[in-house]
Amino acid sequence: MNLYKSIFFLLCILLSSCIASDYRIKDFSSNYSKNDPALSGNGEKLAFVIDKNGNKFVQLKDLRTGKVIPLRFLSRYKNNISPSLSWNGRYIAVISDIGGKRIVLIEDLLSGKFHRITQFRSLSPVSVSLAPDASKLVIQFDANGKRSFQFFDLTKILELDLSKNLKDR
Amino acid sequence: MKFIMKNSLINKYIYLIPLILLSGCYSQKVTPIYSLNSFFAGSLISYRDPKISQKYLITIVQYKGNLRMELIDLDRKKIIFLPGINSNKGNPISVSMSSNANKIAFIEEENGENYLFIYFRKNGFLRQINFDSKDVPMKLSLSASGKTLAIQVLRDGKTKIDIIQLDNYF
């Protein structure tokens, strides 16, 4: 009887370890390096920067299907860093180096609109974080080694991207 | 006569053509949020890796050579005490949070090794997430729902992105 019990427990342990191993998806996909991960608020989309021969392209992936979501505007820019996504992944914000000048770009995947935010005077953006509802943006700057940040209100240029679940808001 | 009319119509609306072509692209001025910017301006602290939600900001602050994580309530403009999150030995290198800031994920460097932790703000629990000895966690993003974690991992000389579903993990 004790033997059966031990076998049963052993099976339970083996089964639980199989279930627990589902929680992690390891990336062995391509030869390219992937950097700067950013999840959408609902965790269904992942943005990252892919390094192809020194060019840094931003890519957006649907984690449910595994498919790459095309970016109409951002795919044209090849020096991107620090992507950030809104709750449903409707908006993607990145920092892009255009002719030696860093600016913030926001692509709206729903309406197809594209926004350039350039009003930083001599400050150089280092990272960007979009609030999940896309109401505001925080941009980190580097000024002679000292890093600071500034908040920007986006409600005049973007619609809110809210969770369908009220508890998440 | 008809031809002249058509021409005059074209001339009248010709300026609309480039506008239509550029309608998908905007260079716009967004408004700085002065009430928040003034709260952080002028301090001797250097900030790294700031992440925001509707109500909170989490960031790594550097003050007199020390690095630590700080959570700030943006509505009340107050620093929220996080007992047990900042160790004296390790230095935080990447931080991310859920939208209600109840879960905070961070990578800490200690003696040349990187460790990944999840901090549960409600009860102050700290849980470590283990990696294979060859994998080095470098940067992370926690979804605002607090359910999914994306980690940039150095593996075989290349950086990759692993995904962890936290609901299944804990």
On whether residue A67 sits in a domain, the answer given is yes
On whether residue A49 sits in a domain, the answer given is yes
Host domain of residue A141? 32-162
State the pLDDT at residue A17.
43
Residue B64 binned pLDDT confidence (cut-offs 50, 70, 90): confident
Q: Is the pLDDT of residue A18 over 90?
A: no
Overall domain count for chain A: 1
Q: Is the pLDDT of residue B9 over 70?
A: no
On whether residue B2 sits in a domain, the answer given is no
Overall domain count for chain B: 1
Residue B145 binned pLDDT confidence (cut-offs 50, 70, 90): very high
Q: Judged by CB atoms within 8 Å, which residues 36-55 of A form the interface with B? A: 36-43, 46, 48
Q: Judged by CB atoms within 8 Å, which residues 6-35 of A form the interface with B? A: 19-20, 22-29, 31-35
Mean predicted confidence (pLDDT) in A96-121: 90
| Contact check, Cβ <8 Å, B145/A115 | no
For tokens 């391509």, what's the residue? A30
User: Which residue is closest to A108 within chain B, CA to CA?
Assistant: B24
On whether residue B3 sits in a domain, the answer given is no
Nearest to A148 among B47, B155, B158 (CB): B47
On whether residue A23 sits in a domain, the answer given is no
On whether residue B130 sits in a domain, the answer given is yes
State the pLDDT at residue B22.
45
On whether residue A5 sits in a domain, the answer given is no
Q: What CATH number is given to the structural domain containing B111? A: 2.120.10.30
Q: Token digits for A166?
A: 């009220």
Nearest to A133 among B54, B142, B145 (CB): B54
State the pLDDT at residue A21.
45
Mean predicted confidence (pLDDT) in A50-58: 91
Chain A contact set for B36 (CB, 8 A): 151
What is the ipTM, given to two decimal places? 0.84
Query: Other CB atoms closer than 10 Å to residue A117's CB: what's the count?
Result: 23
Residue B78 binned pLDDT confidence (cut-offs 50, 70, 90): very high
State the pLDDT at residue B6.
54
On whether residue A15 sits in a domain, the answer given is no
On whether residue B62 sits in a domain, the answer given is yes
Host domain of residue B97? 29-169
State the pLDDT at residue B7.
58
Residue A16 binned pLDDT confidence (cut-offs 50, 70, 90): very low
Q: Is the pLDDT of residue A75 over 60?
A: yes
On whether residue B18 sits in a domain, the answer given is no
On whether residue A103 sits in a domain, the answer given is yes
Q: What is the DSSP string of A37-77?
A: EEE-TTSSEEEEEEEETTEEEEEEEETTT-PEEP-TTGGG-
Q: What CATH number is given to the structural domain containing A100? A: 2.120.10.30
Of residues B142 and B2, more confidently modeled: B142
On whether residue B4 sits in a domain, the answer given is no
State the pLDDT at residue A155.
94
Sign of CA dihedral A18, A23, A24, A29: positive
Helix H segments across chain A? Answer: 2-20
Of residues B130 and B10, more confidently modeled: B130
